[in-house]
């Protein structure tokens, strides 16, 4: 397209608001102090009978465990936040699309996208992470906080978790990157994950989300006005599920649907399915799907792989956990 211009907006207020709310939630705690009273002591205590009734015990809330096996379900995060002190190392890989057949061995010999990531749980219910991918030389930081947890009694029927990610394009500034200022390198992703474990075998999750890019391509119309190709803010929703077929393995599936209508180049939805294998310290997933990126906002805004045309690709996730 000729006469391309950059089209940028300030950082989304929604992104900053979510970050501030998360910090407040993660470090604010309520403390209650119990006051104990002592009855007056009489001289002949042996003749005094204790008629005070024992205080009823406070029943501890019991939460549903292992709604999912780990942090990832194909291309999506799950509601799960590991226990305090958990350190996790992730390897994610996406091959090329299979549409060229044996020419590139169904995408295995094509250009691939890779990401290495780390995460740690410093306090209960809060996970922070960092990663890097070869796609646009992006680095990202992320945070996940468990807001509510499904209870065994049914008093809370679902688990709800917030997930946020900020990514920076670290490529050198040139004619292809279109960076005007440092803020143009940044993009953001905010998601609320809602899940329920229906049985030991079946768990379902939904996740409405918002992606924001500070800088996107535009063009000049006949009057010389800058017009956007894609909107800076894009809404979407994802649906995920797991069905266990044994103690160590499960069938997994995911569907992602962009909701925002852009002036041009609307992204395609993602349909993916595969198998998950779990051990005490490892989680391995292998699957086929349409998403080739490993940064969620890139997938929801840029994906052009169409499952209706058979543009699937093979991918896998490997997670290794340690507890300190």
pLDDT in tens, 69-86: 999 999 999 999 999 999
**DSSP, residue by residue, 78-129:** -S--PPTTEEEEEEEEEEEEGGGGGGGTTTTTS--EEEEEEEEEEETTEEEE
Mean pLDDT along residues 189-207:
98
Q: Where are the alpha helices (DSSP H) in the chain?
A: 13-27, 296-302
Q: How confident is the model at residue 179 (pLDDT cuts 50, 70, 90)?
A: confident
* CATH class of the domain comprising 72-217+224-323: mainly beta
Predicted confidence (pLDDT) at residue 36 exceeds the cutoff of 50: no
**Predicted confidence (pLDDT) per residue in 94-110, tens digit:** 999 999 899 999 999 99
Percent of the chain's residues with pLDDT above 70: 82
pTM: 0.80
Q: Which residue has the higher pLDDT, 16 or 97?
A: 97
User: For residue 220, which phi and psi values (nearest 5 degrees)?
Assistant: -95, 130
Domain-wise residue ranges, the chain: 72-217+224-323
Nearest of 133, 137, 122, 125 to residue 90 by alpha carbon: 133
Question: What is the chain's mean pLDDT, rounded?
Answer: 85
**Structure tokens given for 230:** 């894609």
Furthest CA-CA distance within the chain: 103
């Amino acid at each position: 397209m000729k006469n391309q211009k950059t089209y940028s907006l300030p950082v989304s207020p929604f992104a900053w608001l979510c970050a501030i709310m998360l910090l407040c939630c993660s470090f604010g705690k309520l403390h209650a102090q119990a006051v104990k009273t002592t009855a007056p002591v009489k001289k002949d205590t042996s003749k005094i009978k204790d008629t005070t009734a024992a205080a009823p015990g406070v029943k501890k809330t019991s939460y549903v465990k292992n709604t999912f096996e780990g942090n990832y379900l194909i291309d999506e995060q799950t509601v799960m936040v590991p226990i305090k002190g958990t350190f996790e190392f992730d390897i994610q890989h996406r091959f090329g699309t299979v549409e060229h057949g044996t020419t590139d061995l169904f995408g295995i010999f094509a250009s691939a996208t890779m990401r290495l990531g780390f995460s740690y749980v410093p306090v209960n219910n809060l996970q922070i992470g960092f990663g890097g991918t070869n796609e646009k030389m992006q680095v990202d930081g992320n945070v996940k906080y468990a807001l509510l947890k499904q209870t065994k009694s049914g008093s809370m029927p679902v688990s709800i978790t917030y997930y946020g990610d900020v990514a920076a394009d670290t490529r050198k500034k040139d004619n292809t990157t279109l960076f005007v200022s440092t803020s143009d390198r940044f993009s953001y992703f905010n998601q609320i994950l809602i899940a329920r474990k229906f049985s030991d075998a079946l768990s379902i999750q939904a996740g409405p989300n918002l992606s924001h890019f500070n800088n996107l391509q535009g063009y000049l119309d006949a009057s010389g006005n800058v017009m956007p190709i894609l909107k800076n803010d894009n809404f979407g929703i994802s649906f995920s599920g797991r069905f266990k077929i044994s103690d160590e393995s499960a069938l997994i599936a995911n569907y992602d649907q962009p909701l925002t209508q852009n002036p041009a180049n609307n992204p395609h939805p993602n349909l993916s399915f595969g198998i998950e294998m779990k051990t005490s310290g490892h989680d391995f997933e292998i699957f086929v799907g349409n998403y080739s990126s490993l940064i969620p906002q890139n997938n929801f805004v840029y994906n052009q792989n169409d499952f209706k045309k058979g543009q699937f690709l093979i991918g896998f996730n490997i997670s290794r956990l340690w507890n300190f």
